[in-house]
Every structure is written in structure tokens, then in C-alpha cells.
Amino acid sequence: MAGRVMGGRPLAQVPRGRRAACSTCRAAATARRVVPEASDVVIIGSGIGGLCCAAIAARYGFSVTVLESHTIAGGCAHSFQRGGYEFDSGPSFFAGIGSESKSNNALKQCLDLVGEKVECKEYGGWTAYLPEGVFTCENNEASYLGEIQKYGGEEAVREWRALSKVMEPLANAAEAISFASLRNDPFAALTVGRSGQAFATSGILNGGPFDAMSQLNGPFSYLLDKAGVRNEFLRNLIDLECFVLSGMVARSTLSPEMAYMYQERHKEDSKLDYPVGGTRSIIDALVRGIEKYGGTVHLGQHVDQIVFEGGRAAGVALRGGGVVRANKKVVSNASIWDTYGSLVPRAELPPRAADLLREIPKLDSFMHLHLGIDGEGLAGDLGIHHLVVNSWEGGVDTDANVVNISIPTTLDETLAPEGKHVVHAYTAANEPYELWEKVERGSREYLELKEERSQCVWRALERVIPDVRDRAELTMVGTPLTHARFVRRRAGTYGPGIEAGSQSWPTANSAIDGLLLCGDSTFPGIGVPAVAGSGFIAANTIATPWQHLRLLEELDEI
């Protein structure tokens, strides 16, 4: 994920091959339609969590209104256009969303339920530039083990095999229970119970209840220790994979998400997906699904505050006037800090809200580059994704140590003018906001700091494209202030730094009557499948258990 660099103005030059479906949906989503006075469900924010919640709630038959402050839908996952280039602002790793087969991926399940598809280009892996050398990470275990052996030796291979065996029951348990079956009320026992047999036979209970709870709620490092993983290279590599997924290392990342990720990645013929047209295609598909079932998405509609009646969240007040009433629920896709810090009036905050905001740490922010570059003479096998690690010293989560690079035009050339490439490179969760919070945007100090702090990203890019600075024809530098401004993220944070096993995540329930939460500062956390799952959980909690069970039956039949 990365922050927005700029807002969305029309393209100066439409990229060749742009599909009509994309522009048609964009026009529908941005139409200046009248905001309804009331809906069953009013959703604040059009991030993937909010859009998935809206799509599923509409699929249940509720009237749904989504209100987005920005002029582009998608939240942290929106796309924007400049100078003939289409840029993703955020996530670029996807898996299982374009497949015709069934998937436990919450985003894919949501799209299936509203009858929408996203065309994708498949690819097999990415390249990591590690202190030891170039590590080619392909989506199969044999190749992965070959690279581990190259840099960690036979000891690392043996330890990985031991870890893979230890992870298997947990991965099976995670696969048995999809986010589509979860809800935040006692009826969850009924909807989750449909998967009870598969969960019971996963093997997760073989080590006893303490071991099962340590795996389900504890850090991934618990499984590393259980498997006897001590090889320094392998521990560093796994810390890197955890950090890229969650913004935290193995001692803080939840075990189920890593076990499930590794199992999915190493299945036979497993592939990664890149959506044709960029992440906009995913957002457009969700908007189409919402509108297909009668919901509406309104852009440029800033929610000033949640409106309360008799201690209950009853709707939202819009900037510039107007109130949208919620007959059933208000759902906030804003972060927990923005929801409790700005949207909920102080007098209506639950007793522990202030403590909750203090207790949940914020991960650091971003520095990133969006570039349009000349592609002449670049290798045909350049590859879409690259990861640069400068040093293992001090850990992968030290300042500016890890840089993510995405070059989506290696798969989808329609994102740029002919002969050009789109590049998005960024440091995620390792740029301290404190360096920026007292700097005025646009000032000489700000511009100098941008130049200084972006150098690590340029140097990382030069590992992949040595003459990238000379090739750059369009350059945009994003900072933590950019992220805070366009995504309305408190302190420009990547998300919550909740350490596995140390405290519980906020859930869809908010302790405020009439208000539900979704997004990456609620369970199950950061990442596209997780935020899509949070939207599912919120929508399911609004529905009756009988509606929920019927939906699960219909999902089984797709």
C-alpha cells in the first residue's frame, strides 16, 4: 500500500487500449447524483473495506449509501492519472481474484456474490535484492527452497521443511473458515459452525487448546520457534515477508495470515494476479456491484461528523450541510483514530475510547515515487515486482531499509503511452511521521526534505534500472503528509501496529449503538484480503443469521 501523490484530474492523453468498462464505471461513480436523505446502511469511506461492506449489504437487500470525501473511489487502493500514465496509489500484490475457480479470498468472494469479474494478468513471482544477493521468489516451493539453499544452506532448507509441516494444520484451519462466514454477534457460532468439521479435521487441535490458541492468536515467531527455525538467513527472510505483508516482523505478525499466505503461494500452479487497467479495475467492479443491487457511491462528499439520537448513531452530517440518516447502521471505513478522534462527537465516545486510541500504536508512514519513464532498451523480462533490502542490521523495519517497487506495465502496457513504463516505488511503514509533522507543505524546507528522504527510493530503483533517473519523464514524490492529506490517515500511518498476542484488535462492533467499523484498523487488519474480510464481517453483522446462512449457501453454489 502507498499513499496518494495527487488528486485525480482528467488524463492529458488516454493510454492506448483503455477499456470502455473502466471509463463507463468511473462516470457512474462520479456522477453528481443527489445524495439520498436516508438509507438502511450509510458507509463512510470508499476503501476496499467500505466498498466490500456496501456490496454485500446491498446484496442482502439493504439500501446502501457510500460517502467518499475524495473525488476518486478506492481509499488507499485508488488509481489516478497523470500525463497519459495510470498509477496505482496503493496495493499491487493480488492473488486469486481473477481465477475462475473457487477461492477463500474475501475480495474474490465479494466480487462473485455481486456477479462481477476482474480481468487479470498472471505472473509467477518477484525479485528481491537482499544483502546476500538477488533472490528470485517464484510461486512454488521447489524454487523457493532452491533460493533458500543458495543463501542459507542445507540447514535453512531443513528448517523450512520443518516449518512447513508445523504450519500445515494452521493453514488448513484458516482455509476452512472464510471471512464470509464471520459476524460479530453470538450467531457467529451458527454461521461459522458450517465449517466446524473441516476446522476440527485440520489438525490445529492436535497439540491441545493452549497450542491451538497460540497458533490462532499468537505471533508467527511462535511457529518458527516450534519448528526450531534458527538459521539466521531464514529468520531474516521470514521477517521480510512478514514486514511486507503486515508492516511488522515475525514476532508481531499474526500466525494465521502467514501460514495461509505460504500455503496459497506454494500450491501447485499458484499464480499472482495483476488487474488489467490497474487497481481501478477492482474498485470499478465493486462500484458496479454496489449499483447493480441498488446502492449508490457518492464522491466528493465529506462526512463532518456522525449524528446521534438518544445515544445511538443515527446518520451522518455532510460538510456544507445536509444529513443522511441511517435506518439500521452507520459503518465507518475511516481509521480507528479518525473515527473516534474526529467523526464521533466527544460527548458520545465510549468510556474507553481515549485509552483505546492511546493503546493502539501507529505504524510509520511512506516515502514514494510515481514515475513515468522511457522504456526503450529495457529488458523484456524486467518483471513487475522488486523488493530491495539494504541491510539486515537492526531489522527490516528500520527507517528506509526496505523499498517496494512495482512496474505494472511489464504486464499491462495500456497503463502508459507506447514505449513507456509506469513505476511505483515506495518505503512502506518505515518513514517516521515525526520528521514531517512540523514541516509546512510547499515550503523550501518541505521540498528539501522530499529531495533528501526520497534518495533511498531512487537508489533502490537503480538496483533494478541503473539509469532510471535519466529515463524519468514524469516524477512525483509522495510523503507522509501526502498520505495524511489524500487518504485522510492520521499521521499518514500505514496502519495499526498491534502486536500479535499482546492485545486484541478492534472488531466490527464499536461499543456505540448503531455504529459498526471496517477497514485495516479493525480485525483482521492490514492487507487487501483482510480489509475485504472486515467489510464482509460488518455487512454480515447487519444481516439476520438466516439471511447470512442463505448467502453462504449461494456462495457455495457459485
Instruction: Identify whether 105 is part of a domain.
Output: yes
- Shared domain for 481 and 513, answered yes or no, is no
- Shared domain for 379 and 434, answered yes or no, is yes
- Shared domain for 405 and 448, answered yes or no, is yes
Contact 75, 66 (CB under 8 A): no
Band (pLDDT 50/70/90 cuts) for residue 133 is very high
Please name the helix (run of DSSP H) or strand (run of DSSP E) that holds residue 101, with its range, or none. none
pLDDT on residue 53: 98
* Most trustworthy range by pLDDT among 53-57, 68-72, 178-182: 53-57
Answer whether residue 187 shows pLDDT above 70: yes
Band (pLDDT 50/70/90 cuts) for residue 3 is very low
Answer whether residue 107 shows pLDDT above 60: yes
Instruction: Identify whether 13 is part of a domain.
Output: no
Answer whether residue 25 shows pLDDT above 70: no
- Shared domain for 466 and 371, answered yes or no, is yes
- Shared domain for 479 and 390, answered yes or no, is yes
**Grid cell of 23 as nine digits:** 471509463
Strands 120-123 and 85-88: unpaired
pLDDT on residue 487: 82
Number of Cβ within a 10 Å radius of residue 178: 20
Distance CA 91, CA 247 (A): 13
The number of distinct structural domains making up the chain is 3
- Shared domain for 256 and 291, answered yes or no, is no
Answer whether residue 245 shows pLDDT above 60: yes
Final residue before a domain boundary, out of 269, 292, 308 = 269
- Shared domain for 461 and 369, answered yes or no, is yes
pLDDT on residue 104: 85
Answer whether residue 328 shows pLDDT above 90: yes
Distance CA 532, CA 534 (A): 5
Residues of the chain above pLDDT 70, percent: 94
pLDDT on residue 503: 75
Instruction: Identify whether 166 is part of a domain.
Output: yes
Instruction: Identify whether 138 is part of a domain.
Output: no
**Grid cell of 135 as nine digits:** 533472490
Find the CATH number of the domain harbouring 45.
Answer: 3.50.50.60
Final residue before a domain boundary, out of 463, 492, 521 = 492
DSSP letter assigned to residue 499: P
Contact 122, 272 (CB under 8 A): yes
Whole-number Cα distances in Å, 50 to 87, 110, 299, 344, 467: 22, 12, 13, 18, 41
- Shared domain for 424 and 441, answered yes or no, is yes
pLDDT on residue 216: 87
Distance CA 89, CA 48 (A): 13
- Shared domain for 472 and 432, answered yes or no, is yes
Find the CATH number of the domain harbouring 426.
Answer: 3.30.519
Instruction: Identify whether 25 is part of a domain.
Output: no
**Grid cell of 351 as nine digits:** 468510556
3-state secondary structure at position 486: helix
pLDDT on residue 6: 28
Instruction: Identify whether 353 is part of a domain.
Output: yes
Average pLDDT, stretch 189-206? 86
| Residues of the domain holding 300 | 36-122+275-360+506-557
Band (pLDDT 50/70/90 cuts) for residue 201 is confident
Average pLDDT, stretch 320-324? 93
Average pLDDT, stretch 340-367? 90
Query: pLDDT tens for residues 413-429?
Result: 999 999 999 999 999 89
pLDDT on residue 16: 39
Query: pLDDT tens for residues 469-528?
Result: 999 999 999 999 998 888 888 899 999 999 988 778 899 999 899 999 999 999 999 989
- Shared domain for 437 and 480, answered yes or no, is yes
pLDDT on residue 410: 97
- Shared domain for 263 and 279, answered yes or no, is no
Answer whether residue 176 shows pLDDT above 90: no
Report the DSSP beta bridge partners of residue 420.
374
- Shared domain for 261 and 289, answered yes or no, is no
Final residue before a domain boundary, out of 492, 514, 535 = 492
Band (pLDDT 50/70/90 cuts) for residue 91 is confident
Please name the helix (run of DSSP H) or strand (run of DSSP E) that holds residue 349, with its range, or none. none
Please name the helix (run of DSSP H) or strand (run of DSSP E) that holds residue 217, with its range, or none. helix 209-217
Distance CA 300, CA 69 (A): 5
pLDDT on residue 30: 44
Instruction: Identify whether 23 is part of a domain.
Output: no
> How far apart are the two ends of the chain, measured CA to CA in Å?
30
Q: Which of these, 243, 541, 281, 287, lies nearest to 402 by C-alpha position?
A: 243
Band (pLDDT 50/70/90 cuts) for residue 264 is confident
Answer whether residue 401 shows pLDDT above 50: yes
Band (pLDDT 50/70/90 cuts) for residue 22 is very low
Instruction: Identify whether 479 is part of a domain.
Output: yes
Answer whether residue 5 shows pLDDT above 50: no
Query: pLDDT tens for residues 427-439?
Result: 989 999 999 999 9
Answer whether residue 71 shows pLDDT above 90: yes
Average pLDDT, stretch 430-454? 95
Residues of the chain above pLDDT 90, percent: 76
